[in-house]
Amino acid sequence: MELKQTVLGIELGSTRIKAVLLDQRHVPIASGSHDWENRLVDGVWTYSMEDIHTGLRACYADLKRDVKEKFGVTLTTVGALGVSAMMHGYLPFDREGNQLAEFRTWRNTITGPAAAELTELLGFNIPQRWSIAHLYQAILNGEEHLPKLDYLTTLAGYIHWKLTGEKVMGVGEASGMFPIDSAALDYDQAMVEKFDALIAPKGFGWTLRDVLPKVLPAGAEAGALTPEGARFLDPDGDLEPGIPVAPCEGDAGTGMAATNSVRVRTGNVSAGTSDFAMVVVDRPLGVHREIDMVTTPSGAPVAMVHCNNCTSDINAWVNLFAEFAGAVGAKVDRGALFTLLFQKALEGDADCGGLLSYNYFSGEGVTDLDEGRPLFVRTPDARFTLANFMRTHLLSALATLKIGLDILTEQEKVAIDKLYGHGGFFKTPGVGQRMLSAAAGVPVSVMETAGEGGPYGMALLAAYRIWKDQGEALEDYLEKKVFAGAKSSTLMAEKDDIAGFNTFLAKYRQALPVERLATETV
């Protein structure tokens, strides 16, 4: 095994940190992972810095063990590496690198006034989870740390900084901090000037460009692993410095790379703790609160429908069933239980037989809810079967996404030829794929590597960083060198499935006031 002929991608996801090592054929050959979970502390969804550091190191240590077991060598170097993480959020630091406030994740819906004012000022939809919304909300709140602010970044940007010492960021990740000018591959200068003028009376002593990371496209030089960075990632001291590091990206960008969805009219849906659809477009769209405009890792404009909630409620119910199985003395593998229950959903009525569920663990911007309460609701005469129960939760996981997609396709007339699915929702063959196709009304493809998801996409971006030909576009690299012979399955939902989803969604929309009332009373 030639370690220099491998590339490493690491992604800090919502519930799991995962590392994937690829060989020169772009095939996964080793992996590592670490489970973690966000916490609600004083009304703020966050991860502690200790959890971030220990979790990342535990994930890397697990990868080292896998390499040692499979190949009999110690992982000391790779050809290139890259890190990605959940997009958006708020991580502020002072000049000495001290953290000034708790990490505020994408899951928070505490920036409503700031997001609304900035959307009006910029003429561009600024979602609540974007870093600029968090920054301006902190300004509106009069938070004391702001005069000390020297650097504002995301989780991926922070880890990249720790590994390389460079305050830089991939353009796709940066597009979740502040609007991007795709032609300039940089923050939109006119909007930057509007924001600076807005906050100038505060007299902080910094402007927006002073505190934001530098923007880089995929493939650009973004620094190398420093001795301190190597020790940070691998406290054992085996990892050697000097490794080229790709521009860090967010989970949206890595999802696009992992599914070869970076060309115009291609799209993908990432479905895990949160779910989001990404469709690469060739023209500006109108301003919609439910639609984010971000970019591919190479800077092309992307329409994004992002939903804060997807599989958390499904996971909770599967855990309950597992607990019941244990109580009656049945030993059930959790992975097998997921497969069993997902497959059971295929036997359910297309419209779920009158059952409804809302998977809102947290607030949801698309449906204008600042908080969430998981709910399961049924009428007395509903067909309350296990199959309908599971199908209800699978459709609920996609319902908010469908509301956003309808705006994109019906109001903006954006054409979607096919969607690629990836993430945990698609691990059981054919099930999540069929449900998404029923929701979107288009074929859905799942690649053989779909289970690898974001870290695989980040590893591909690391490969592009060092193995691309002179002048070779990311789109061409992925299409010709990575996915030319990739295995995938494509599925189109039956008409009854599509009609059933639409019936379910109509009832879901009608009963949304029940969810809102629950947030006010429970």
Beta bridge partners of 152: 92
Distance (Å) of CA 245 to CA 98, 237, 352, 456, 464: 24, 18, 48, 15, 11
Q: Using N-to-C axis directions, what is the helix angle for 334-345 and 312-327, rounded to 10°?
A: 110
Q: How much is the pTM?
A: 0.83
| Tens-place pLDDT, residues 118-141 | 999 999 999 999 999 999 999 999
The pLDDT score that the predictor gives to residue 454 is: 87
**Tokens standing for 31?**
């992996």
Gap between the Cα atoms of 303 and 280, Å rounded: 6
Residues of the chain with CATH 3.30.420.40: 1-87+162-172+224-259+452-483, 88-153+178-211, 312-448+492-521
The pLDDT score that the predictor gives to residue 263 is: 87
User: Topology of 88-153+178-211 in CATH?
Assistant: Nucleotidyltransferase; domain 5 (3.30.420)
Task: Please return the burial class of 286, using the count of CB atoms within 10 Å of its CB with bins 0-12, 13-18 and 19+.
Answer: exposed
User: Topology of 312-448+492-521 in CATH?
Assistant: Nucleotidyltransferase; domain 5 (3.30.420)
Task: Please return the burial class of 23, using the count of CB atoms within 10 Å of its CB with bins 0-12, 13-18 and 19+.
Answer: middle
The percent of the chain in helix, strand and coil, each rounded to the nearest 5, is 40, 20, 40
Does an H or E element contain 34, and which? Answer: strand 28-35
The pLDDT score that the predictor gives to residue 284 is: 79
Q: For 15, what's the count of Cα atoms within 13 Å in the CB-facing half-sphere?
A: 11
CB 147 within 8 A of CB 195: no
Residues 6+ apart with CB under 8 A from 421: 259, 268, 269, 271, 432, 433, 436, 444, 445, 446, 450
For residue 506, the one-letter residue type is A
Q: Closest Cα to residue 56, out of 88, 11, 3? A: 11
The pLDDT score that the predictor gives to residue 447 is: 83
Given the structure tokens 């009219």, which residue do they identify?
Answer: 265
| Tens-place pLDDT, residues 449-489 | 655 678 999 999 999 999 999 999 999 999 999 998 888 89
CB 111 within 8 A of CB 133: yes
pLDDT > 70 in the chain, percent:
99
For residue 277, the one-letter residue type is A
The pLDDT score that the predictor gives to residue 491 is: 95
SS (H, E, C) 217-250: CCCCCCCECCHHHHHHHCCCCCCCCCCEECCCEE
The pLDDT score that the predictor gives to residue 493 is: 96
The pLDDT score that the predictor gives to residue 415 is: 85
Q: Closest Cα to residue 394, out of 439, 336, 452, 449? A: 439
Phi/psi region, residue 62 (left: phi>0; alpha: psi -120 to 50; beta: rest), is alpha
CB 233 within 8 A of CB 66: no
The pLDDT score that the predictor gives to residue 449 is: 65
| Four-way CATH pick for 1-87+162-172+224-259+452-483: 3.30.420.40, 3.40.640.10, 3.40.50.150, 3.30.43.10 | 3.30.420.40
CB 350 within 8 A of CB 434: no
CB 254 within 8 A of CB 9: yes
CB 243 within 8 A of CB 225: yes
Q: Where are the beta strands (DSSP E) in 244-347?
A: 249-250, 267-271, 275-280, 292-295, 301-307
Gap between the Cα atoms of 398 and 266, Å rounded: 19
Backbone angles phi, psi at 345, to 5 degrees: -60, -25
Residues 6+ apart with CB under 8 A from 512: 358, 367
Distance (Å) of CA 115 to CA 46, 108, 237, 373: 20, 12, 44, 23
Task: Tell me which residues of the chain have a pLDDT lower than 50.
Answer: none
**Tokens standing for 347?**
């036997």
The pLDDT score that the predictor gives to residue 224 is: 98
